[in-house]
Amino acid sequence: MSDNSSNQMWGGRFAAGPDAIMEAINASIGFDKRLAAQDIAGSRAHAAMLAATGIISDSDAETIREGLLTVLSEIDSGTFAFSTALEDIHMNVEARLKEIVGEPAGRLHTARSRNDQVATDFKLWVRDQFDAMEGGLLALLRALVDQAEAGADWVMPGFTHLQTAQPVTWGHHMMAYVEMFGRDLSRCRDARARMNESPLGAAALAGTGFAIDRHMTAEALGFARPAANSLDAVSDRDFALEFLSVASICAMHLSRFAEELVIWSSAQFRFVALSDRFSTGSSIMPQKKNPDAAELIRAKIGRIFGANVALMTVMKGLPLAYSKDMQEDKEQVFDAADNLMLALAAMEGMVKDMQANVAALEAAASAGFSTATDLADWLVRETGLPFREAHHVTGTLVAMAEKKGCDLPDLSLDEMQSVSASITEGIYDVLGVHNSVASRLSYGGTAPTRVREQVMRWKEILA
């Protein structure tokens, strides 16, 4: 077989040869055009600084500013023609700027490199994603707090190992997720504050000999300060990794809640009814109402985890400073951010719409000897039995009730006293599920009064 025919076999879309392959592997415009607004914002700040420091004239800076606004307008309106031959968003914008304003466009790139330019653009974009994530989390937290307040008294089973453990309140369960997503909110804000340093002016890697004002550009772009080391500034992608790490933990929490909603909405549990807006029917089984939104949220974590691992792998072997490998930093983050925001919005919608089946929750809470621990605790408090002995007595009573096919509160006092003579009528005050949850008054406990305290605390936080 000739070399030419072999080339045709593997060439495919690259039949034009090595030049086409290199253009395709080198170009990033197919995805980094999402950075257009950030790129133009950075260029406007840079041009204004160059004029303020006397590096370019005021008239050139004004011409550049107006030209960049024209480019942004074209991109926003969809009339801008992106070119793969120009590789990336930076060169596409600069080339079009030159077509619009001519010679002054060539002065825009004074005292900067694509290295600090892309780091700045990407940081600005990721910072926007942290802000969007904060907004999504706040909306979800408010929806959960509303559910907790509505159901502070509703009794449901608490589980360990997905086995009935002790009764809890619906409000307490909702507030558990408030704490989890509250930590996500804290991580989001913490990471945003740490990343808010401007790379602009670090140039290729060593800084620049021009008398630029990096504090001016940092302030113009909303950064707290310029990055302190030019080598680090152009080679750092910790901000993207932190976003993916924070997003991964948040997605894991979303997935755990989604799993519960899938279980709770099943015919076997009937704990909640999800609205039609976040469910679908079956193509063949007319009785089905599938929790598709919850299932898709549960699946999104794979993409977000994958993005985290992928970027960590890209970065792990790179010497300082910039390497072309870092072009592979964006697509993963773009995809993760899109899917995280979609999952947050869908979960907020489901939480706002879902209706708890209070009767089914209470019936389930009463099953499975869920107040056995209350019985053991009562024996310790009221009769002075050591806990291990109380545990044994309780286990014997559970076996007795199981054999009779009844629950613990249904055993007579005589039956209970046949196991432990120290048991009195007062035992019945703790055996009902409502009595059980009301007694859990320790800080952070499931008692309705404690739940309402936490609801009020979080309302103040979210206000």
Active site residues: 161, 282
User: Could you please report the per-residue DSSP string of 131-143?
Assistant: HHHHHHHHHHHHH
Name the helix (H) or strand (E) containing 260. helix 238-264
Chain centroid to Cα 90, Å, comes to 29
Pairing of strands 225-226, 272-273: unpaired
Structure-token match 């939480």, residue found:
351
Tell me which residue of 205, 242, 236 sits closest to 112, measured CA to CA.
Answer: 205
User: Could you please report the per-residue DSSP string of 3-41?
Assistant: HHHHHHHHHGGGTT-HHHHHHHHH--HHHHGGGHHHHHH
The tokens of 373 are what?
Answer: 């621990």
Determine the Cα–Cα distance for residues 439 and 168; give it in Å rounded to an integer: 11
DSSP secondary-structure letter at 167?
E
Provide the β-strand partners of residue 272.
356
The tokens of 117 are what?
Answer: 């330019």
Give Cα separations from 222 to 14, 38, 193 (angstroms): 43, 12, 11
Residue 367: CB atoms within 10 Å:
12
